[in-house]
Amino acid sequence: MEQVKQYWQQCLEVIKSNISDQEYKTWFAPIVLSSYTNKTLVLEVPSLFFAEILESRYIDLLSKVICRFFSPDTQLEYKAMVVKSPDATTTIPGEHNMVQTRNNVVSSHAKTRLPEFDSQLNPAYSFDALVEGNSNKLARTAGLSIAKEPGKTAFNPLFIYGQSGVGKTHLANAIGVMTKQLNPDARVLYVPANTFLIQYTDAVRNNDQNNFLNFYQTIDVLIVDDIQEFAGKQATQNTFFHIFNHLHQAGKQLVLTSDRPPLALAGLEQRLLTRFKWGLSAELERPDLALRKAILKSKIYRNGLEIPEDVVDFIATNIDDNVRDLEGVLISIMAHSTLTAAPINLDLAKKIMGNVVNLVAKQITVESIRDVVCEHFALPVAAISTNSRKREVVQARQIAMYFSKQLTSNSLSSIGSIIGQRDHATVLHACKVVAGLIEMDKNFKATMEEIEEKIKS
């Protein structure tokens, strides 16, 4: 055995002269010679992930030195010590030989309970609190499927993208929260990309990469938020690439979020981008008016409050960028009302929102309403000014009259004059018909909300 140790030491000296000191300290200094029998060299390494790195980066160099100092037909095996326990090891063959794993090797997961850790999930970000709408239906549905069977769906990885504030972090956390609820023993971790970067930098500085890698390869559901922050960080990308491969091959779930789709991510390696597209890429779009109202009402209900419908409409109409601003304004209004004992009404909403967003009053006229309605129903503007009794023309005319009464200060006679030379009685009748349809027909109500958003946008 002494002769074998001497040969291995000679191998290390040659390897050290061919790579950087940092590489040697990281990937070769921790290796321990385990045995050399029947022309099979067994090297003890800290983890399976460690062995994967050796195979992917250094196998050519390893093969040359082993053949030189041992034997040209020497076969290489790795014994991975996943945890510090005598029966928690596994032996895997090197890439360049056909050695079979010995039958008496114990699985790295057998009889070993891994230490607990904080999943870093926000329990407030649940699926119950994530209101479904057209803008998030696909991603939300996929997230529910993943939470029920992580790693077993076609959505692996799930790549969620969209602009800031549309709910990416909420959805990512909701997947983790539900997974933990259904399977408390699952090792779920939510980590912002920036935190991952800091952890990796600290591990390199402290020469502690092995523990860093060992930890991440034990995760069952890994959620990385704002993956675009890896751009330009070559070493971090390389490490994450191997973590991704290890977890994906082991049937573990990966959930990634970004402010843009994989194709638009600059500064990331192509091999990473290719893997990001293996599963499902789902966009979270800006919430439409209906979803913005539903989000506000859900938050109001969960807080046990009562807020007038016109205040909800005002907030939802004037904040259309993201959910975060929507909820922030609602919280400000509720806080102001509580601290000052002021009633929550439209005047308070306008006062608070004036300090948060730019409320640019749009000039809404009967003419502009008429034009939007005609455009929505693909009708020429002149159509609703005719005497046509076609259903689509009559309905468009009545809707234009209804919105003109609701959104302008024009008199009924003025509205009738501009829209088809009708009298005030016709306008009044049209408003009653439309109001009745809104009460009775959900689809019609949704159409009216869509048109109102167009008028006000």
Per-residue pLDDT of the chain (457 residues; tens, 9 = 90+): 788 899 999 999 999 988 888 888 888 988 999 889 888 888 988 776 677 778 777 888 888 899 888 888 888 888 876 443 334 444 444 443 322 233 223 233 333 456 678 899 999 899 988 888 888 889 999 999 999 999 999 899 999 998 888 889 999 999 999 999 999 989 999 999 999 999 999 999 888 888 898 899 899 999 999 999 999 999 999 999 999 999 998 899 999 999 999 988 989 999 999 999 899 999 988 887 788 888 888 877 777 777 888 888 888 877 766 777 777 788 888 777 777 777 888 888 887 776 655 544 557 889 889 989 999 999 988 888 888 888 899 999 999 999 999 888 888 988 988 898 888 899 999 999 999 999 888 899 999 999 998 888 6
284: closest CA among 143, 84, 128? Answer: 143
Give domain 366-456's CATH architecture. Answer: Orthogonal Bundle (1.10)
Write the CATH number of the domain with boundaries 2-93.
3.30.300.180
CATH topology of domain 289-354: Helicase, Ruva Protein; domain 3 (1.10.8)
User: Which burial class, exposed, middle or buried, applies to 72 when counting CB atoms under 10 A from its CB (0-12, 13-18, 19+)?
Assistant: exposed
Q: b/e map of 217-246 (b: 16 or more CB within 10 Å)?
A: bbbbbbbbbbbbbbeebeebbbbbebbbeb
294: closest CA among 454, 457, 453, 129? Answer: 129
For the chain, what are the domain ranges? 2-93, 137-283, 289-354, 366-456
| Type and span of the H or E element at 51 | helix 48-57
Give domain 137-283's CATH architecture. Answer: 3-Layer(aba) Sandwich (3.40)
